[in-house]
Copies of this chain bind each other. A is one copy, B any other.
């Protein structure tokens, strides 16, 4: 198979045409010109509430020339036999139904994070996917970035900072200007800092404090506090501890302040690693400070687009290989983080209608 013209097509059906779908589909277009792409990403169809919205989406994502179908009913997209995989880019509270409908129609699914509102909903999705034998993954794109692969090698294989004892990670975006009707502040749409931002800090702590993911992961324990406005968490602080390795993760997320570029500090017995970037979802630099060396070592990671195409290409590889889940983002990992978020919300008193 030629790398520049892969023979296989992966035909995507896109549900939802908001901000995140726009970024994702723009990256699918970039992925087509990416040397490591395992398949040609075809935008087969888009489902949105009006034809006009659909046309605007095609323009914004530069997919007009691909001439995707525009469906104004999601059911029509699920029924489309030309579609291999459904990408779900809706508000959190609509993820479960979209996933279940797509899976029921025999489609593979890539669903934005969080996969669902709570672990119970995640279980429903996993159960149906298992029965229908389709590939399903939560779109935790950060895990697929080369910077994360490098970070894990440095920490767990090369052990450049020795035994990790503690890490801090913050993901905060000041959303004070957003109205209380915004999705992110609306309890009925699964709003709050934890599900939108905190999920990335939990993801990073799992990756940094543990060499394994999902079922193989180490047991952790958590403590947490939230501040709650109109039923959703505006700020959350989580302490994760690993009894077997005696290390602590201090994870914070907030809608009321903004993280500095150095958003994550990892402390080990032989040095410190600082992760930097525009946000915890997108590290772009690893800075290694070794205790026995006065000069920092910095590794920069830049790439075109938003960085979603690493994830998209990995998903394409899984589907071409007939896999039902990703080794990088297995379903057990989605389930594990959903259960942690349930526990944090319960402690903090944030309950959604779905709970």
Contact = CB atoms under 8 A, between A and B. Distances in A.
Contacts of A252: 166, 168, 248, 250
Given A237-B239, A237-B248, A254 B223 contact: no
Contacts of A158: none
A352 B165 CA distance: 24
A26 interface: no
A178 to B, nearest CB: 15
Nearest to A247: B227
Nearest to A265: B260
Contact of A223 (B225, B256, B257, B269): B225
A60 interface: no
B165 A257 contact: yes
B166 A257 contact: yes
Interface string A208-243: 000000000000011111111100001101011100
A256 B237 contact: no
Contacts of A241: 225-227
Nearest to A245: B227
B234 A256 contact: no
Interface residues of A, number: 31
Interface string A167-189: 01000000010000000000000
A148 to B, nearest CB: 23
Contact of A250 (B228, B234, B246, B250): B250
A221 B348 CA distance: 12
A248 B229 CA distance: 14
Contacts of A272: 257
Interface in A263-300: 267, 269, 272
Interface in A114-163: none
A256 to B, nearest CB: 5
Given A165-B254, A246-B234, A224 B223 contact: yes
Contact of A166 (B224, B235, B240, B269): B235
Contacts of A248: 225, 227, 235, 237, 252
Contacts of A166: 235, 252, 254, 256-257
Nearest to A236: B248
B223 A246 contact: no
Contacts of A254: 165-166, 267
A272 to B, nearest CB: 8
A269 B225 CA distance: 20
A228 B165 CA distance: 12
| Complex A-B, nearest 5 residue pairs according to Cβ-Cβ distance, in ascending order | A223-B223, A257-B267, A227-B246, A225-B239, A225-B241
